A = this chain, B = another copy of it.
Amino acid sequence: MSSAAAAKPILYSYFRSSCSWRVRIALALKGIAYEYRAISLIKDGGEQFKDEFRSVNPQREVPVLEIDGHQLAQSLAIIEYLEETRPDGASLLPKDAHQRALVRQVSDAIAQGIQPIQNLRVLNHVGDEKKVEWARHWINHGLAGLEALLAKTHGKYSVGDTVTMADCTLVPQLYNARRFKVDLSQFPIALAIENELIKLDAFKAAHPSAQPDCPESERGTQ
């Protein structure tokens, strides 16, 4: 291993970013220690737009994981990389091709189908007056489709009885749903899965309120 490859991974993260959170869960499930570098998406119009972040991610987004001498972006691409290069520890994708497809289907239903339409950048563009209604509409719509999908795939967790990449995407999305006061009682399967997941140490460690950049005032909001 080169010295770059042997270095401790660095995660560029924002405590409340769903996509950063997904990667934090995956790292915790795999037991990979890392250095946390906070990038505020709020402060000074967004620290991801500072000059020094350009070389880290030309797309100006978190998360970025520096690992094995690479700077990787896009949350699910990072999780797939961890799975391929760190097969030890928790496996976040099943062995069977059809089961793997279901894990990716649930993950993408959230990561492509819900989160992008209600992320901070889109809500800022929609404007303060309409953003709550907008976010609630799209999260409601997306979770309805997701619940129908989970009805076919779930066991104790999103796909069967093992924690997978799908679960790394589910928990942050339900947190966003609560922020926008979506009525989650419509989605009992998603809630039952979440109820199991939040018992796990990895999910506790990855929660926004446990991150170094979480303001004191929000630490009680688990």
Contacts and interface: CB of A to CB of B under 8 A. Distances in A.
Contact of A122 (B77, B80, B117): B117
A166 to B, nearest CB: 11
A73 interface: yes
A89 interface: no
A72 B111 contact: no
A123 to B, nearest CB: 11
A104 B117 contact: no
A84 B100 contact: yes
A76 B104 contact: yes
A108 B68 contact: no
11 contacts: A58-B149, A59-B148, A68-B98, A70-B98, A72-B101, A74-B109, A76-B108, A76-B112, A81-B100, A81-B104, A84-B97
